[in-house]
Chain A
């Protein structure tokens, strides 16, 4: 497939690794933000290919993983109401809530459906005016414009049976929170390629200026990540700290202005609680007043719901790059994709799921 296969070329990959070995004169700790990037690194064994001093820690860029426990509980409560058709991306179904998960609630008869696009949820609402359709809108800035578009269309068409339980999170405030933590070891970031496709990368300039940490916006294929790592190491070796763009075939400085306009038409920034990390100011998106009638949290009165985290799951530390999934006592045994204790084991972008799929054999060898 064009623009995909050629970025998996093994010869070029090995060449990039050799160049990296040549340029790195000392150890460096890097973080990739996106769960999709984590999965590529694990799947192609890139983390094991890197010269010994280069360490990759995995960031919180898995929207499923960072959706707060309260939000999962709210989803379960709403989905259990008769007359509601609860529509979600597949990943969210197995994320553990306080007592159960959407998958089990579905098995007990709740009308829960899986889609790959908010457009499908909208189509269902149009075709089924007698059903109270609620879409579970989880994601970063990449997904927010699509969700905003669905709501904008619903308003234009005067749909009264469509709403969203929205839990969007923003990347730059999360990077700020990580860099501000006294336990931070990360010296350079691989920026989120698809978030930046939408938002551009100008927002990262103030982070780089303030913390003097380089950020290279990276794509998702092996050569993208290796090149981004090479660009980061080059900056670090030269004592530079700038925002650079590796993913030029998709990302521009300003980003996608049309998508941004739709996003800001429907949403505004708000404080948001990230599962594992805690509350980060201005790190989420909420509905603007003109679109409040589409806010399922308000419509179903779930705004005051609170929840407490289970004890054994160390996802908080995994999401901040402080521990690896294989450091967890429950990894692969009491916690696995079929019976997860926490979200990172469930999501297709979760670090624990990536390790379970590609790195299980290393458990017990460290």
Chain B
């Protein structure tokens, strides 16, 4: 399964030789293995799949790429509605 969702690390500890953390997804908190993301700390967001964090969300990359999305999406929409709203033709 490739279903994975982002969650926030609330705490972390070692248990049975493995780094485990409580990760919060909206209103739910789940025990998650953090061994694949040694660089992730409490407060970081991680992508979790079958109870294992597989990546740490790169905050800067996410912000940068989202800004690109917004510029692609919002500007075009404004332009479109400007043209539609105009009473003039030709």
| A15 touching B61, Cβ below 8 Å | no
Q: B interface, by DSSP: helix, strand, loop or mixed?
A: mixed
| B51 touching A4, Cβ below 8 Å | no
Say if the beta carbon of A91 comes within 8 Å of chain B.
yes
Q: In chain B, residues 2-21, which have Cβ atoms closer than 8 Å to a Cβ of chain A?
A: 2-6, 8, 16-18
Distance in Å: Cβ of A280 to nearest Cβ of chain B: 18
Say if the beta carbon of A34 comes within 8 Å of chain B.
yes
The winner among A143, A157, A249 for most chain B CB atoms within 10 A is A249
Which of chain B's residues have a CB closer than 8 A to the CB of A116? 50-51
Q: A6-B66, A223-B69 are in contact. Are A198 and B76 (CB under 8 A)?
A: no
| A349 touching B2, Cβ below 8 Å | yes
Q: Complex formed: what's the CA distance from A119 to B30 in Å? A: 12
Say if the beta carbon of A348 comes within 8 Å of chain B.
yes
Say if the beta carbon of A12 comes within 8 Å of chain B.
yes
Distance in Å: Cβ of A150 to nearest Cβ of chain B: 10
Say if the beta carbon of A351 comes within 8 Å of chain B.
no
**Interface digits, B39-65 against A, CB 8 Å rule (1 contact, 0 not)?**
000000101011110110110011011
Chain B residue at minimum C-beta to C-beta distance from A157: B16
Residue from the list A9, A12, A34 in contact with B2, Cβ < 8 A: A34
Sort chain B's interface into a size bin.
35 or more
Stretch at the interface among A72-80, A189-197, A207-215, A293-301: A189-197
Q: In chain A, residues 157-201, which have Cβ atoms closer than 8 Å to a Cβ of chain B?
A: 157, 192-195, 197-198
Give the number of A-B contacts (CB < 8 Å): 154
| B62 touching A36, Cβ below 8 Å | no
| A142 touching B4, Cβ below 8 Å | yes
Q: Complex formed: what's the CA distance from A4 to B6 in Å? A: 7
Q: Complex formed: what's the CA distance from A250 to B4 in Å? A: 11
Say if the beta carbon of A344 comes within 8 Å of chain B.
no
Q: A12-B70, A250-B47 are in contact. Are A140 and B57 (CB under 8 A)?
A: no
Which of chain B's residues have a CB closer than 8 A to the CB of A276? none
- 14 inter-chain pairs at a CB distance below 8 angstroms, sorted by A residue, are A1-B5, A2-B6, A11-B74, A12-B77, A16-B72, A16-B73, A89-B1, A143-B49, A149-B33, A227-B69, A248-B61, A248-B62, A249-B65, A250-B47
Which residues of A line the B interface, CB within 8 A? 1-4, 6, 9, 11-16, 18-19, 22, 34-36, 61, 63-64, 89, 91, 116-120, 138-140, 142-143, 145-146, 149, 153, 156-157, 192-195, 197-198, 220, 223, 227, 230, 248-251, 256, 258-259, 262, 348-349
Which residues of B line the A interface, CB within 8 A? 1-6, 8, 16-18, 25-26, 31, 33, 35-38, 45, 47, 49-52, 54-55, 57-58, 61-62, 64-66, 69-70, 72-77, 80
